[in-house]
Amino acid sequence: MSTYGRIISFAKPYHRYFPRYVVFAFLSIIFGLVNLALLKPLFQVIFETETEEELLKMADTTGLSFGKDYIEALFYQKFIAFREANGPNSALIYVSIVIGISALFSNLFTYISNVIMGYMRADLIEKLRNKVFNNTSKLHLGFFAGERKGDIMSRMTNDVQEIEVTLVSSIKVFFREPATIIIYLTFLFITSVQLTLFTLVFFPIMGFIISEIVKKLKKKAILSQESLGRIVNLMDEVFGGMRVIKAFNAQKYIGGLFEKETETYKKINVSMARKNELASPISQFLGISVVATLLVVGGNLVLNNETDLDGASLLVYIIVFSQILTPAKGISQSFSNIQRGMASAERIFKLIDEEPKIQDKPNAQIKSSFDTNIAFKEVGFVYEKEPVLSDINVTVNKGQTIALVGSSGAGKSTLADLVPRFYDTTLGEISIDGIPIKDIEINSLRNLMGVVTQESILFNDSVARNIAFAMPNAKEEDIIKAAKIANAHEFIVNLEGGYNASVGERGGKLSGGQRQRISIARAIMKNPPILILDEATSALDTESEKLVQEALTNLMKNRTSIVIAHRLSTIQHADLILVMDKGRIVERGNHEDLITQKGIYHKLINMQAV
């Protein structure tokens, strides 16, 4: 399916929009043409540009079969009779009223057709944006590590907005403007085949010139959207890291980076503007040139009596032809908008077409409980051809606390991320209760687990909603109970607004310890049988650490826990400690066993005791 076809597919079901749009747009065009067609009898009958004999001949329906000539003759017959009965002044008022009513209907139908298109546009954009967001949110964590966050945000905002402009432009290009041109050309052919065939020579010339301009726009449009994505990404990094920027007096440095990127964006868009704006004046110049040529050619034919046209007919012909210039100009402008939109669509469809690497197998099992153990058998993991984990063999029994320790980069977090399938093993197998986790439906697998990380991820919402995250029907008493277990209730009730207080963007209104305790309360609310705690106290001061550690102890009661810790004092009571180095388990045992081994763990303990 073409890129444009994929965009339009989001407007399904089509019967809600297209038939009604076509009907009302067609009526709008017809009534617009009627306005112009009425100018001819206005000149001929009221202002008497024709002799009485010629008018009577034009009003003679004798021998005419029903058709264009008969309808025109009948109209002249009735109109002349009205003028004779009521006088030319009344006839002028009558025609003016008819023209006014026709203009009213033309604009009314234009309004209705545009409203219908507005509904279609809004519906399509809603579906497209939801599709992009939902598909992107399903992608594996490795995708986000390799992509600029600002570029993804730009695709979901600016690129989708460009597609909205494209949709409007394409409807003009593929229906409204061509329909207007075809209906007007039909009128011109009926009026004078000779002159109309002469004008058709110019349309291919205009089309060729405009198409050459449009070809050069697409590449620039892609570069423009990519540059805008980098700008959004830079802004996100700057506003998120403002403390560091100010601490290092880096405003000038960051300002330089931002100015460089905006300068690139400016140059690309100036180049696009030059090409984009060139199409419109060229088409207008060529159109006016054709009108001037028509005036000369048609005028000579009338003056030399070489055509059936009279002066009034020629004037109406030129006025109608001049109206073709507006849709022709609109088509040229729309083509440039479409090229920009197509570039945006291709960037969006890359996100939609990106396949999640972590997917359910067909007929994956739904698991609702954890009964015996988690087993790692010969587990290995390679990230972009770089080995991260090798030969991991360990069994975590239900109710045990397993601690992972080691230097930074040893593979601790990666090992923990394999359990909820944030990544998939490249070698070996992880099983829960003897069932390989790749055979378990992902959502049911993750429902068994609660995760608390070093960086407390909170959302710009109330305290209560952050605790009851993704639990819209949670009871207030359950939220308060979870907060009390997490040692968070006391500080929450002292906030302005209490549980309804906003935590700010990323929890910015709270201290690190407060954010961490809300994260723990969130895990308590979920009440999972398996916990994964990734350095949950490493970034806290002593007082906060004590409160958080107490909350973690409450959380870990009667649960199976996998704990990653830099502060070894927090995991000395773990049932099993795994010491990792360069992606392998190099030591294992409880605290006392490892101390007596005088190995890496003993060394790490001594270093932290200093």
Q: Where are the beta strands (DSSP E) in 309-444?
A: 373-383, 386-397, 401-406, 427-432, 435-436
Q: How confident is the model at residue 403 (pLDDT cuts 50, 70, 90)?
A: very high
Phi, psi of 30 (to 5 degrees): -60, -45
Better-predicted residue by pLDDT, 383 or 280: 383
Taking residues 575-583, report their average pLDDT: 94
Better-predicted residue by pLDDT, 190 or 212: 190
Better-predicted residue by pLDDT, 539 or 339: 339
Better-predicted residue by pLDDT, 360 or 269: 360
pLDDT over 70 percentage in the chain: 82
pLDDT at 388: 93
Q: How confident is the model at residue 214 (pLDDT cuts 50, 70, 90)?
A: low
Better-predicted residue by pLDDT, 219 or 135: 135
Better-predicted residue by pLDDT, 215 or 222: 222
Dihedral, 126, 132, 138, 139 alpha carbons, nearest 10? -170
pLDDT at 609: 62
pLDDT at 494: 93
CATH topology of domain 3-353: ABC transporter transmembrane region fold (1.20.1560)
Which residue has 């049988």 as its token pair?
529
Give whole-number Cα distances, 289 to 180, 294, 300, 325, in Å: 21, 9, 17, 11
Q: Which burial class, exposed, middle or buried, applies to 170 when counting CB atoms under 10 A from its CB (0-12, 13-18, 19+)?
A: buried
How far is it, in rounded angstroms, from Cα 426 to Cα 398? 25
Q: Is the pLDDT of residue 503 over 70?
A: yes
User: Does the CA dihedral 25-26-27-33 come out positive or negative?
Assistant: positive
Q: Give the lowest-confidence range in 143-157, 216-230, 300-314, 364-378.
A: 216-230
Q: Are 408 and 388 in contact (CB under 8 A)?
A: no
Q: How confident is the model at residue 274 (pLDDT cuts 50, 70, 90)?
A: confident
Return the CATH number of the domain spanning residue range 373-609.
3.40.50.300
Question: Which residues make beta-bridge pairs with 541?
Answer: none
pLDDT over 90 percentage in the chain: 23
How far is it, in rounded angstroms, from Cα 517 to Cα 532? 15
Phi, psi of 486 (to 5 degrees): -90, 10
- Give Dmax over CA atoms of the chain in angstroms: 125
Better-predicted residue by pLDDT, 426 or 210: 426
Taking residues 192-220, report their average pLDDT: 68
Q: Is the pLDDT of residue 68 over 80?
A: no
Collect contacts of 425-428 with beta carbons under 8 A, ≥24 apart. Answer: 425/379, 425/380, 425/381, 426/380, 426/381, 426/382, 427/378, 427/379, 427/380, 427/381, 427/382, 427/390, 428/376, 428/377, 428/378, 428/379, 428/380, 428/392
Q: Are 549 and 537 in contact (CB under 8 A)?
A: yes
pLDDT at 229: 73
pLDDT at 382: 93
Each domain of the chain, given as residue ranges in start order, spans: 3-353, 373-609
Better-predicted residue by pLDDT, 432 or 254: 432
Q: If you count DSSP H runs as helices and E runs as strands, how many of each does the chain have, helices first?
A: 25, 10
Output the six-digit token pair for 558: 């009667």
Question: pLDDT tens-digit profile of 430-464?
Answer: 999 999 999 999 989 999 998 888 777 888 899 99
Q: What does pLDDT average to over the chain? A: 81
Q: How confident is the model at residue 499 (pLDDT cuts 50, 70, 90)?
A: very high
pLDDT at 541: 61
Task: Look at residues 345, 343, 447, 342 and name the one whose alpha carbon lies nearest to residue 131.
Answer: 345
Q: Give the lowest-confidence range in 32-46, 78-92, 203-217, 571-585.
A: 203-217
pLDDT at 244: 61
Highest mean pLDDT among 196-200, 301-305, 385-389, 538-542 belongs to 385-389
Output the six-digit token pair for 52: 């009485």
Taking residues 499-514, report their average pLDDT: 88
Q: Is the pLDDT of residue 45 over 70?
A: no
pLDDT at 391: 95
User: Coil, strand, or helix at residue 610?
Assistant: coil
Q: Give the lowest-confidence range in 28-32, 96-100, 106-110, 432-436.
A: 96-100
pLDDT at 437: 96
Q: Quick one: the chain helix, strand, coil %, rounded to 5? A: 65, 10, 25
Better-predicted residue by pLDDT, 169 or 16: 16
